[in-house]
């Protein structure tokens, strides 16, 4: 029965509550689209335009980044259909390489990867909301240096709004995966509709839009060089980041052999289409110099490029409309990240590689409530610490190492499990996963050369997980020796 909510795990030996397969195909596509589309699509065109100098190369960078993300999604689709369990990348690495690398993968995500993303999204939500409402009070401020960077720490209404958003959405997801999925679908529909209104408004009503805006500036050639184009692609890839999270809830997806691949591939395709159309509308609405001097590190006080484009047909109201869209978009990405990422500590706890209480499922709602709440508390601490942006930078290097490791699992598992039923196989294998691995290697090496401090911090973070792994492994052995063998899979 397609609409039934069936248990995600079954065993005659288990009496405790289990996860339920309550997420439909619509929910899972919404998780991919809604988690990926945050704020990058409204902002990144400016820094990309500064890097490459021509509209054609900006659009090419968005398209190439989408194809790269699609290569990863096609590979993860095979892994997700083969191993449709809670945990995503953690499960793939565990089955391919063993528990130690899997623990380090999960540890990196718990410590900073997932929680840092949640903190950043919540802070973004608070920032955009205060652009609409007068909620900018600062009660305490202090400046200090961390890892060679000057950081200004503030405590005020923005921090409280960020923590409030984390706690409210975490509470919503404690009420059940179906409710979380429905809210995700609604928020995703709102943000995609908002982007569609901007795109449609530009093409139909913009008074300044012109095909002439697509021409390359007279002082720039048609090719900017590999290094600037790589920088533009890298900026676009950050906007595409998050597609890999949906398989973390594969244990709660209905008909996962069909729906996980469809959601991953379909979701990334939708995101790519949305991104390309949105940026096409920006470049159509605005002269290229106006795109390049939009809000970015170089022009901190300027309006975002999406606001400028909306203003060409909405006037001053365009800025408010886009600010409201920012709020909805960041909330959608925040809800999806909270829902999906809490399944990693849950899966690790079920394996005995983390605190066992995090592997418990609520009797009433059939979700890992404690895992969600612990994630919320740590993310809230990062959100008010004032250092979450730097901490997230530290883990970028480590994250891509595990993206590559998870992707390479497809080769290992085809050898280790040659007779396993594979409802979905990666098209273009082995070229597609190799293409993604080359991308990951490029990003890791690029981060290593351009951000050596952050890369070193990422490696240190991974290394800090190893003593914890030894502790949990030793505890497991002690428990196995003192109790009868368990039948738990």
Structural domains of the chain, with CATH: 16-477 (1.20.1740.10)
| 3-class secondary-structure state, position 466 | helix
More confidently predicted of 137 and 250? 250
Per-residue pLDDT at 387 exceeds 70: no
Handedness of CA 339, 340, 341, 343 (dihedral sign): positive
The whole-number average pLDDT for the span 88-97 is 96
Taking the C-alpha atoms of residue 340 and residue 337, their distance in angstroms, rounded to an integer, is 5
More confidently predicted of 209 and 128? 209
| Contact indicator for 30, 184 with CB cutoff of 8 Å | yes
Residues of the chain above pLDDT 90, percent: 63
Per-residue pLDDT at 7 exceeds 60: no
| Contact indicator for 347, 106 with CB cutoff of 8 Å | yes
**β-pair type (20-21, 6-7):** antiparallel
**pLDDT confidence bin for 487, thresholds 50/70/90:** very low
Per-residue pLDDT at 256 exceeds 50: yes
The whole-number average pLDDT for the span 13-27 is 84
| Contact indicator for 397, 454 with CB cutoff of 8 Å | yes
pLDDT for res 6: 42
**pLDDT confidence bin for 131, thresholds 50/70/90:** confident
DSSP characters over 256-300: HHHHHHHHHHHHHHHHHHHHHHHHHHHHHHS-HHHHHTSSSSS-T
pTM: 0.89
pLDDT for res 142: 74
Instruction: For 303-324, write each residue's pLDDT tens digit.
Output: 899 999 999 999 989 889 999 9
Q: Which of 63, 37, 317, 332 is nearest to 196 (CA)?
A: 37
Q: Which of 72-81, 114-123, 295-304 has the highest mean pLDDT?
A: 72-81
Per-residue pLDDT at 223 exceeds 60: yes
Taking the C-alpha atoms of residue 195 and residue 290, their distance in angstroms, rounded to an integer, is 20
What DSSP element (H or E) covers 224?
Answer: none
Handedness of CA 210, 212, 217, 218 (dihedral sign): negative
| Contact indicator for 87, 344 with CB cutoff of 8 Å | yes
End-to-end CA distance of the chain: 26
Instruction: For 275-297, write each residue's pLDDT tens digit.
Output: 999 999 999 999 999 999 998 87
The whole-number average pLDDT for the span 182-196 is 95
């Amino acid at each position: 029965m397609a609409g039934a909510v069936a248990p995600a795990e079954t065993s005659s030996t288990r009496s405790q509550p289990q996860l339920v397969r309550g997420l439909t195909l619509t929910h899972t596509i919404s998780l991919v689209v809604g988690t990926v589309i945050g704020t990058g699509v409204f902002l990144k065109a400016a820094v990309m335009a500064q890097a490459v100098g021509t509209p054609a190369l900006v659009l090419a960078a968005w398209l190439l980044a989408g194809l790269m993300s699609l290569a990863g999604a096609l590979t993860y689709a095979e892994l997700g259909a083969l191993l449709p369990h809670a945990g995503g990348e953690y499960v793939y690495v565990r089955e391919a390489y063993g528990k130690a690398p899997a623990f380090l993968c999960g540890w990196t995500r718990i410590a900073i990867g997932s929680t840092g993303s949640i903190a950043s999204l919540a802070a973004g939500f608070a920032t955009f909301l205060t652009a609409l409402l007068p909620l900018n009070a600062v009660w305490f401020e202090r400046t200090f240096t961390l890892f060679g960077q000057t950081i200004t720490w503030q405590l005020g209404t923005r921090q409280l709004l960020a923590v409030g958003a984390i706690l409210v959405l975490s509470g919503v997801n404690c009420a059940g995966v179906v409710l979380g999925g429905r809210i995700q679908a609604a928020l995703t529909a709102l943000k995609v509709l908002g982007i569609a209104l901007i795109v449609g408004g530009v093409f139909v009503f913009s008074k300044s839009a012109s095909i002439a805006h697509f021409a390359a500036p007279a002082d720039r050639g048609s090719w900017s060089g590999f290094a600037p184009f790589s920088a533009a692609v890298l900026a676009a890839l950050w906007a595409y980041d998050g597609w890999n999270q949906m398989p973390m809830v594969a244990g709660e997806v209905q008909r996962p052999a069909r729906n996980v691949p469809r959601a991953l591939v379909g979701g990334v395709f939708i995101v790519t289409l949305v991104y390309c159309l949105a940026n096409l509308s920006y470049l159509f609405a605005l002269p290229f110099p106006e795109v390049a001097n939009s809000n970015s590190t170089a022009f901190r006080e300027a309006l975002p490029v999406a606001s400028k484009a909306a203003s060409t047909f909405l006037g001053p109201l365009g800025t408010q409309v886009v600010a409201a869209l920012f709020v909805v978009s960041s909330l959608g990405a925040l809800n999806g990240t909270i829902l999906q990422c809490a399944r990693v500590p849950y899966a690790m706890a079920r394996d005995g590689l983390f605190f066992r209480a995090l592997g418990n499922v609520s009797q009433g709602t059939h979700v890992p409530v404690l895992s969600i709440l612990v994630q919320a508390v740590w993310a809230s601490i990062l959100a008010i610490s004032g250092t979450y942006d730097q901490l997230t930078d530290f883990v970028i290097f480590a994250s891509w190492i595990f993206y590559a490791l998870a992707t390479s699992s497809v080769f290992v598992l085809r050898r280790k499990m040659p007779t396993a039923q594979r409802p979905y196989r990666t098209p273009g294998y082995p070229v597609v996963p190799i293409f993604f691995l080359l991308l990951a290697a490029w990003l890791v090496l690029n981060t290593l050369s351009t951000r050596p401090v952050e890369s070193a911090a990422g490696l240190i973070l991974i290394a800090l997980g190893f003593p914890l792994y030894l502790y949990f492994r030793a505890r497991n052995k002690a428990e196995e020796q003192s109790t009868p063998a368990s039948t738990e899979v």
